[in-house]
Amino acid sequence: MALGVVVKLALWLLASCAEAVATALLRGVALLLLAAVRLLTLPGQAADAALEAARGAVTAAVEFAAGVVCDVVASVASAILEALWSAVTGAAELASSAAVELTEAVRDGGEEAAKAVAAAVEGAAEVAAGAVAKVWESYVDALGALVLENRS
């Protein structure tokens, strides 16, 4: 009977050790599987953060480009209005001086009136060419200033 108790005790000890080892192995495998699942979620979270950063960068770039376009449009419109105002002022001065010359030429004679009309037409052409040149020059200056301003 003592041998039976010793055998039972040895078998119980062996079974208890086997159960402890099996429990430790199964628990370790479960923890490894849990760690693997968590590792698989990390790239998704990183990709989400990267996409959010890219969206912020694109938004900032679009806002900057829209600001530059608004500045260009405002500069071009301002240059065109300045040039038109200059052309209108020059044309008014030319018209008034031509009217004075024509009035004097009519008093002096017909040949001088024809010369005055030709001179007035020539002056008007010069004013128109000057206005176009000023508009183009203002446009180029405004665009160049805007590019240099946004470059730095």
Consecutive 10-residue averages of pLDDT for the chain (152 residues) = 82 87 92 89 87 92 89 83 78 73 66 70 77 79 74 63
* Predicted model pTM: 0.44
pLDDT score of 88: 75
Q: Which one, of 77, 98, 94, lies nearest residue 129 by Cα?
A: 94
Q: Where do the domains of the chain lie? A: 1-150
Q: HSE (CB half, 13 Å, CA atoms) of 149?
A: 11
**How far, in Å, are 91, 119, 125, 143, 146 from residue 116 at the CA level?**
16, 5, 14, 40, 44
Return the closest-CA partner of residue 101 out of 87, 88, 120. 120
Selection from 132, 145, 128 nearest residue 74 by Cα? 145
- At residue 107, the pLDDT reads 66
